[in-house]
Structure 1
Amino acid sequence: MFTCTGYAATAADRPLAPFTFERRDTGPDDVRIDILFCGVCHSDLHQARNEWGGTTFPCLPGHEIVGHVVETGENVRKFQKGDMVGVGCMVDSCRECESCREGLEQYCEEGFVGTYNGKDRRHGGDITLGGYSRSIVTDQSFVLRMPVHLDPAALAPLLCAGITTWSPLKRWNAGPGKRVGVVGLGGLGHMAVKLARALGAEVALFTTSESKIADGLRLGAHEVILSKDDDAMQKHKNSFDLIIDAVSAKHDINAYLSLLRRDGTLVQVGLPNEPLPVAVSGLLRKRRNFSGSLIGGIAETQEMLDFCGKHNITSDIEMIRMDEIETAYERMLRSDVRYRFVIDMATMPEKI
């Protein structure tokens, strides 16, 4: 074991604060990473404040991790000291069920082990502690190789926001000849626009904010549609092959389902706190599909990173200091970020 420093919440009603804890030593199959940058996901806030229930405290968030390999176990062949690598939302799974065997560890029948607030079954059942820290030790099978020619800070959000939108885009064959809609321009939505455009699809962004029209076009949307404009929405009925809905607040899902053409699919990747009522008749009449998608497997995450490396795709970020995390959370609640906060781990104190 070795001593590590990070920022953690010790209770749901307490702010994140400096925290000292023990990491496991590097095992035979492990990679030890000194963390350079960690993205800030809305899930971090939900977990730290126990808004989903089930949070184990102390809770140390962070699952968009980029850093350098500083040590490898004796069985590690994929990575070596000095490599630029990443760790996303998972650090383990059962590796034996049908989903795991198919490279879909996010749907593991036993439940994947989250990078934080997960039960590390392979290492004594300890609760995992995430990337708001100076270092992490992770099994090589859940470590990813990062494109070395791109800004590592701007790559960090790809490990959650990027793969969360890439997985359904690939699953439903977004590409040339397909019309893809993206609902909401936040951390997830802005990556969906960039990736869908790079895949060759015709991309339309739906937003409630006129102030985001210019950004939507800059990020790659061919068209930006104000969803509160009924006439504008009516013009696009029965016209989309695929819609990626990245909104995590309560909204009228039927307004977007009606825009799908026959056999079109709306994929929900945002996670609202309340159920979304669905008018089933709208699905039946056009054989439309309403689906969901959760992050992505390790192989497809690496595929996404390689694609982003080839096409020079990164996230639009705002860098923050570690001690600015609570301010970042409050701004995130107001949607006051374009489009992802990333923590510079050089600002983390070495000792507390």
Structure 2
Amino acid sequence: AGEWVVDELEAVNDKTGQVYFTGRMDTPLERHLYVTDLEGSKPQRLTDRDGMHGISFSRDASIYVDSSSTANRPTQVSLHSADGKQLTWLEENALDENHPLTPYLSDWVEPEFGTITNDDGIDLHYRLYKPAELKGKHPVIVYLYGGPHAQVVNNAWGGNRGLLMQHWVSKGYVVFSIDNRGSNYRGKAFEEPIYKAMGSVEVDDQVSGVKFLHTLPYVDKERIGVYGHSYGGYMTLMSMFKAGDYFKAGVSGAPVTTWRLYDTHYTERYMGNPNTDSDAYEASSVFPYAEGLQGPLLIYHGMADDNVLFTHSTKLYKHLQDAAKPFEVMDYPGKKHSIRGKQTGIHLYHTITNFFDRHFDVK
């Protein structure tokens, strides 16, 4: 679509010639519904509320269901006619006195969104939570993912992890995320630098984010940690191993450690054939950089993970042990990639939080 990304073709009305699609014409941080026609007229936005919209049309394209949220508004579900007019709420999910979130709204911190420019002159979107009361220098947790076809910085409800970030902010942490090159909804030119080069420009852009944090008067640059899961776990390792001067402690969840062990259909799309592109695979593995580990590192993994196999972590455990590099471990027997289960999730979030509290001296 030129300067912006089309997410999905949602419906076509054969009788009127109208075409309905979701995209990012207004901002990469929000998904909206637009309508145009088969002649290519200028798209008109139909969704009037801010945020992220998931659309499901009827077969005749006469009505649709809109599931929408923002970073500060949980998901609401509404029914609309094809011209965008709301017909009724299906689930208003209003933040009234009966909502389970209401008792905590007085302490709710709204994120700030902005952009920085990296060393290559490319604008990167960030999200920043800061404590309501700024007193002196605050520690930071950088939450990242960084991989292709994914986005962290957006105006959408954050679910359990978003609530975890609110908890961190209430303890005095600054919580920061930035979408590096290689991530989604910025177009092909923004994503393609990681082709056959995973773990490279992503780290550079995350470092650009930390350099920005260094300019904030309330940030303690000696207490900047990093946390991610899956590709984010891989990115945590790469950030700790390659940029330890910037990232002082890290939590790596279910990390890929070598792309030779990951799903072929995913990996070869971005990394090529391991038989003909072996140098790229070696450069994108965490092992060549592990000697660079400086700060405290916690690795956790579900031992029944059928996505990123547990052997990714055990190979790294041995490698770090052989290099006499200290690290911490919390593995979850019987758990798969997402470490599901209410009590297990509570245990995991406590483990992550306690790790940063200990190493950053947060009470």
TM-score by length of 2: 0.26
Greater relative CO (CA pairs within 8 A, separation 6+): 1
Instruction: Report the structure number with the largest CA radius of gyration.
Output: 2
Give the alignment's TM-score, normalised by structure 1: 0.26
